Amino acid sequence: MSNNTTEYLSKLVERINGLKNPTNSEQLIVRYYEKENLTKEEKSLLDKLVRAEKKAEQYHKAKADVAKALNAEKEKERKAVTQRKIIVGGALMAGATKGDNIRYYQEVMRKMLADGLIGERDKSKFEEVLKSLPTPTRPIEGQQQVKRAY
């Protein structure tokens, strides 16, 4: 066995010895590692077991790398969705607080609340936002303002 393989085997046996329930293959690796004089067949089997362990580690590392990449992609998409929500919410707030169509945007927000488009968790905050909006002074475009007769 090469020096790298011997070093790897030593660390592998140390790791296996720390396991509560090592597999039969892992137990065999430890047994052959601790045995003084291995036969040719035992050396061959130990070599195969070590190669299999290395392949298993490579597989698990690759699997973890894929999971990490998928999680990063999900996180990227989640951030993009959040950014879109912030942009739309900011535009809606701007429309409801300034400009000529304040009443229209505030009505849209009230309709969103009435139609159940605001989640239960966010309802109270959304209602607070509605209460904090400035009172519109102009009617919705296309509607005539009601004249009061005093």
Share of the chain above pLDDT 70, in %: 91
Q: Copy the structure tokens of residue 125.
A: 């905050």
Over residues 3-27, the mean pLDDT reads: 91
Q: How do the domains of the chain map onto residue ranges?
A: 3-71
Question: DSSP secondary-structure letter at 118?
Answer: S
Closest CA to 47 of 6, 16, 13, 14: 6
Supply the pLDDT for residue 136: 80
Q: Which residue has the higher pLDDT, 77 or 142?
A: 77
Q: How confident is residue 30, by pLDDT bands cut at 50, 70 and 90?
A: very high
For CA atoms 58, 20, 45, 1, give the dihedral sign: positive
Q: How confident is residue 3, by pLDDT bands cut at 50, 70 and 90?
A: confident
Question: DSSP secondary-structure letter at 101?
Answer: T
Q: Copy the structure tokens of residue 138.
A: 């102009």
Predicted model pTM:
0.59
